[in-house]
Amino acid sequence: MTTMPRIGLGIDLHRLVPERPCVLAGITLPADVGPAGHSDGDAVLHAACDAVLGAAGLDDLGTLFSDKDPANAGRASGEFCLEAMRRVRAAGLRVVGMDVVVETERPKLAPHRLAMRQSLSRLFAVELDRVNLKGKTGEGLDAIGQGQALRATVVALLADVACDAGD
């Protein structure tokens, strides 16, 4: 049986601040700045959750895990992914593709791309060769270009669990 795939988009912007762990895509990168946030600030996982939830037609991350709720303070965003994927599976869907763009001046992501892809592959139960991630800079312009913030943009493709999705 073949059904139509579903696409979702997630975008997340976080301020970059000193003396904060730089957690991105579920791993901690060596850096002198990190994304600020109520949770661990992992903008990549937040955008990825919103992409898969959006594709499934489900509530977004901010609705599921309010940044006003003290229970979410300092929380590892991997926990948000587990809940998002629980809901995606309950809807009879699976992730069959994910592409990620991270706009930031620092840290440089190239040395960490494989580890970040592997982490996303585990968290969203999608084959490694169907997860990509690239880093871009802000060319010195706006808050990203001046190193004050980073932004993650993620598109995710979902298919029915029962569907081969062209495998």
Applying CB under 5 A, which residues contact Mg ion? 12, 46
Min dist CB 50 to Mg ion, Å, is 9
Quick one: DSSP state of residue 107?
Answer: S
Measured from the CB atom, the residue of 117 and 151 that comes closer to Mg ion is 151
Measured from the CB atom, the residue of 48 and 95 that comes closer to Mg ion is 48
Min dist CB 150 to Mg ion, Å, is 11
Find the residue with minimal CB distance to Mg ion: 46
Q: Where are the beta strands (DSSP E) in the chain?
A: 6-18, 22-24, 27-29, 33-35, 93-103, 131-136, 149-160
Min dist CB 61 to Mg ion, Å, is 7
Min dist CB 52 to Mg ion, Å, is 15
At 141 the three-state DSSP class reads coil
Measured from the CB atom, the residue of 39 and 93 that comes closer to Mg ion is 39
Measured from the CB atom, the residue of 12 and 160 that comes closer to Mg ion is 12
Residue 74 to residue 162: CA distance in whole angstroms: 37
At 75 the three-state DSSP class reads coil
Q: In what order do the strands lie in the sheet with 149-160?
A: 33-35, 6-18, 149-160, 93-103, 131-136
Q: Position 77: which residue type?
A: S
